[in-house]
Structure 1
Amino acid sequence: MRRRPVATDTMSSDSESDLDFGTDDSNEDPVWHPEENSSEEDENVSDVIRDILLEEEREDMHSDDDDGTRSLHQWSEYVGRHKVFDFVGKKGVQIEISTQASPSDIYSHIVDEALVQFIVDETNRFAEQTIAAKRRSKHARMNQWIPTDSAEIKKFFGLMIWMGLVPLGRMEEYWETKGVYNMALPRTIMSRNRFQVLLSMLHFENNETSSQTNRLRKIEKLIDHLQTNFKALFYPGEDFVIDETLVPWRGRLVFRQYIPNKTHRYGVKLFKLCSTDGYTWALRVYTGKSATGEREVGLAKNVCTELCQGLLNEGRCLFVDNFYTSYELAQSFLQQRTHVVGTLRANKRNLPKEVLLAKLKRGEVISREDNDGIVVLKWKDTRDVRMLSTKHAPVLVPTSNRRSAPVRIQEDSAQPSTSSNPPQATRPRRTTHRLPTKPEAILAYNKGKAGIDLSDQMGSYATTLRKGVKWYRKLGIELLLGTSVVNAWVVYKNVTQTKICIRKFREKLVGELLNMPSSSSRPEQPRTKHHHLKDRLNDSGIKIRRKCSVCYNRITKEKGRVCARKEARQTYTFCEDCPEQPQMCRDCFNQQHK
């Protein structure tokens, strides 16, 4: 029986196979450190992989295909048999949008009126079903339920996004009227009880007509509607990427996944197709094994083929990590005029063993090419890097000077101890330099693969996700107020040609959803003119002394003009900013312009 490498990570029963999470994944293993892995251990690992691959090769030599012919893959030195495809597909924004569009205008193309009305209908329907079930006390808030509408749902979404910008520990603290949590904004939008009952009744499917065998019945219609809007609004460019992401969830769920090298290790896994600037174009929720316990065969290839529908045969290039990369995927996509670039695992079949088993020194590279122009290469940096590319030649290209700076890869040597205990022996410090050249395929991969990381990073800032007991509601909120907002942000930057951070975009979107007056829409207040006292001079520069006009007018009203001539104060100063520049003493000037 063929031996298989055994995964060292403990995984749930619903996770991927034991080969899904190797140390060669695109996300570097967080517990791996170069200084803790000796060359002796690397030699042992290489020997184990060599034995496994040699055994597979011997089995392949005696195995036949279904038609009785032996399966052979011809690999030779690189001679440049790459296929070249001209990019003829659509890219960028596909809808006419004004360059003066606001964030809510862009967002309304994704979460449109039809989708909002669908959420309103299903939320009202679920509330009626809940009331009819009569599983509540006579004092429950649901007894005063009032059907919602699209205007209220938009305000509800605006409040949810605002709560991500202003995070607090408990939901009730946003409506506190005393203490440090006294915030006026939520109370002006809706009451706390109304917000909480809307959150509990938020629904995306009719429970009475949905199929009980469909694991995604609670969320499928919402996903389909959003994907339709995603694809109608924006198209990726020539390069795009497919990878998985996790929506955090630790509750009970049959297809909950455990991925140890993710920030949130437990959750609902999504396969996403993103552009290089972070726009999510298509997605698929992974639902685990089937009800019979059978695992989907060829999952990685099927996911890529399904998500890429609409982008094939247009000369694009797909970037994937070692979970998806395979010789079969490269062959299939080449037949559909699409390039594939990705990292490789050492145990992949139908690949040249002389490349996978080669022992290289740091900076060396070895490669092979087949008749279709598929190149497999191995390059040695601090670790072995294996790549498959149908587009790039196995050539080394220079990197920037900044990348060639020295990098410390081990801890400092032992320092003198100030305590009475003797110092512990540590490994000496060893410093290495980043290599000045890298294979062209690796540089292109690092650039193309960043799209999905950017999408996840922007979605994590000011996230609206909170703890709950309904997995579909948490996933729906992530898609409506996370992924959709990031997509709207990408389109907004493309349309308006302005640089704006995701947090500022969320702030503007909240203000427009909640109908808050913006600072730019306020009428300008006339500036207060500053008045100044100045000495009145004649043509010769001599000060002119006159009665204070304010004193004179006041005394005239009180005592008459004769008394005013005698009692009004004499002064040299006048206000040059007042009409007619009247003579004023300092006391009257301060009284008039206070």
Structure 2
Amino acid sequence: MDAASVKAEPSNEETHEVENEDEIAPEPAEPPNGYDSWSEQDSSDGSDISDFFDSETDSEPELDSESESDDEEPSAPVPSASTASSEHWSDDARTANVCTFQLQPGLKEIAESPVDFLNLMFQKPLFESLVKNINQHGTKLLNENRVQEWNDVTIKEFRVFLGLLLNVGTINTNVAADFWKQDRGIYLPKNYMTEKRFSMILKCLNFADEIPEKKSRMSKVSLIVNYFIDVMKKVVTPEKILCIDESMGPFYENLYLLTDQHGLVHKLLVYKGIDQDELEEMTKRQRDELIHTRGNDAVKKLLEDKLDVGHSVYMDSDYNSLELAKFLVARNTHVTGTLKRKREGNPPDIIQKELNIGDKITKYNPDGIGVMIWKESVGHHVVMISSEHGSEWREHVNKYKQSVKKPACVWEFKKYRDGVRTHDEMISDYYYMPEKLAWHKKVGIHILQMLFLNAYNLYKRYGEKPPLKRLLKFRHVVIGHLLSGGDSKHGLIYESV
């Protein structure tokens, strides 16, 4: 079960902390005046459930709303002032003293064509490591079963294998056997590799580094995770705006991603999921605390080499707390996002006071971190924390040509929050995950597809002008290059694309 499914279910309390876009800005049912609305069962190795692996749209998207209550029962009393922050809070508006952004964002390597960007993401050391692992595993597998002699995979053949793997997603079939039986797509797989050879290479895929001293469950994906982090750090300098959230994926393990606002993934963190039996034994408060603790640790790991340069980080209420905000501000990093109303350390007025519709309360601590509560509608509150944006009213015109007034920190969060969601939506367009694979192979193949999507995102931003306008055409060009074994400089381009 994904940790994402652990999130607290809405209760029947009258008040709620709301992240739902429609609830933040409720739209009329009818537009006025004619205006047009994501295994193989792995043997236990003693790893802990908290075992981490170190490692613009025109319309406004929705967020899931969740209950404001941190308690198991809806009738739980409002916490007393003793649970709130003991530090001094004031009404004096201020922002945190964080340094200006000190980096020059952009590409560190020279690249222009789609193939250039593919080679930036899939560099020779990755192919060499994967081919070595495949050959070792294949030799061991066939020797143990005394079937036949293993024919070593070469880097050129692995490029063809990768091209076929990606092309299954392009033709929108989730059954690899159908890929060989039907003349679908512009590249016929039988012209490049037999189905038997493809299946054997897939079976021998191994994404683990050699770690003789310490082996854990997550070491099975250490090679591909470490490579992803290293290559992104080598290739591109991130922009000021960063987003952190949990990504959806077709495996028991879960991913935390660090992206920019456009969906480019700069860093990832893999962690073990939680058994459903364990979840059922937890209270709602315990589940929420587990999610928050994991999220807090993930934020610090993802940002450990991004601190002290003036980044602005946007996260939702599963991660945010006063404690984390103070840590980031002390490391010259801004934070903005939604906040659970009863999170430990919040100002007493935010926790206890009842508001009328349209009213808001904002409190600032000596570090310049502001916590705001705004009663947007009946029974729904928006609670925000920000070290960068205030709560002054700001008006925007919505898609119905109506003027909508909201606090500035709400507008800014809505503008920059969806980097991970954008990535998930884009990768799902041509996604393929082979069935009946071990969890670590699923994670590894998923990360390979993330690298591919990163190549496209970088190409769109820094590549040749004019660029290929569609992801589908980019896929055909680079898949053609892979199917040529890397011999074609620009890929195979077809007029039918």
TM range (shorter): 0.7 to 0.9
Q: How does 1:477-496 map to 2 (within 5 A)?
A: 477-480=445-448, 482-496=449-463
- Is 1:308 aligned with 2:313? no
SS at match of 1:350: coil
- Is 1:54 aligned with 2:79? yes
Distance 1:493 1:34 in 2: 34
Structure 1 residues 118, 327: closer, same or farther in 2, change over 3 A?
A: same
- Is 1:158 aligned with 2:163? yes
2:261 aligns with 276
1:324 aligns with 319
1:72 aligns with 86
Distance 1:297 1:451 in 2: 20
2:412 aligns with 444
Deviation of 1:34 after TM superposition, in Å, equals 11
8 Å CA contact 1:89–1:311 kept in 2: the answer is no
2:49 aligns with none
Equivalent residue letter for 1:372 = D
Deviations 1:62-92 (CA, angstroms, capped at 9, x unpaired)? xxxxxxxxx7211111332542531112312
Q: Which moved more, 1:42-51 or 1:153-162?
A: 42-51
Deviations 1:408-466 (CA, angstroms, capped at 9, x unpaired)? xxxxxxxxxxxxxxxxxxxxxxxxxxx61111111111111121111111111101213
1:400 aligns with 397
Equivalent residue letter for 1:116 = F
Distance 1:501 1:181 in 2: 20
8 Å CA contact 2:360–2:375 kept in 1: the answer is yes
Q: Compute the RMSD of aligned alpha carbons.
A: 3.6
- Is 1:115 aligned with 2:126? yes
SS at match of 1:218: helix
Q: How does 1:182-581 map to 2 (within 5 A)?
A: 185-205=188-208, 209=212, 211-212=214-215, 214-249=216-251, 256=252, 268-288=253-273, 298-382=293-377, 383-402=380-399, 405=402, 436-480=404-448, 482-496=449-463, 497-499=465-467, 500-515=469-484
Structure 1 residues 45, 170: closer, same or farther in 2, change over 3 A?
A: closer
Q: Which moved more, 1:327-336 or 1:346-355?
A: 346-355
Deviation of 1:207 after TM superposition, in Å, equals 8.1
Deviation of 1:276 after TM superposition, in Å, equals 1.1
Deviations 1:325-344 (CA, angstroms, capped at 9, x unpaired)? 00011111111111110101
SS at match of 2:362: strand
Structure 1 residues 75, 498: closer, same or farther in 2, change over 3 A?
A: farther
Deviation of 1:156 after TM superposition, in Å, equals 0.6
Equivalent residue letter for 1:148 = V
Distance 1:445 1:308 in 2: 19
1:411 aligns with none
8 Å CA contact 1:49–1:347 kept in 2: the answer is no
Structure 1 residues 21, 372: closer, same or farther in 2, change over 3 A?
A: farther
Deviation of 1:478 after TM superposition, in Å, equals 0.8
Distance 2:273 2:437 in 1: 20
SS at match of 1:351: coil
Distance 2:212 2:140 in 1: 13
Distance 1:379 1:107 in 2: 46
8 Å CA contact 1:404–1:436 kept in 2: the answer is no
Structure 1 residues 450, 52: closer, same or farther in 2, change over 3 A?
A: same
Distance 1:361 1:84 in 2: 34
Rg larger in structure: 1
8 Å CA contact 1:356–1:386 kept in 2: the answer is no
2:52 aligns with none
Structure 1's unaligned 5+ residue stretches are 1-11, 36-41, 61-70, 250-255, 257-267, 406-434, 523-594
TM-score by length of structure 1 reads 0.65
8 Å CA contact 2:108–2:237 kept in 1: the answer is yes
Equivalent residue letter for 1:393 = G
Equivalent residue letter for 1:305 = K
Query: What is the percent sequence identity of the aligned residues?
Result: 24
Distance 1:124 1:468 in 2: 21
SS at match of 2:447: helix
SS at match of 2:102: coil
8 Å CA contact 1:81–1:373 kept in 2: the answer is yes
Distance 2:310 2:300 in 1: 15
SS at match of 2:79: helix
Distance 1:87 1:34 in 2: 37
1:131 aligns with 142
SS at match of 1:461: coil
Equivalent residue letter for 1:279 = L
8 Å CA contact 1:210–1:217 kept in 2: the answer is no
Equivalent residue letter for 2:344 = R
Structure 1 residues 465, 502: closer, same or farther in 2, change over 3 A?
A: same
Deviations 1:354-401 (CA, angstroms, capped at 9, x unpaired)? 123333343332211111111111123243110000011110111124
Distance 2:208 2:157 in 1: 19
Structure 1 residues 152, 221: closer, same or farther in 2, change over 3 A?
A: same
Structure 1 residues 470, 160: closer, same or farther in 2, change over 3 A?
A: same
- Is 1:171 aligned with 2:176? yes
Structure 1 residues 152, 270: closer, same or farther in 2, change over 3 A?
A: same
How many residue pairs get aligned? The number is 430
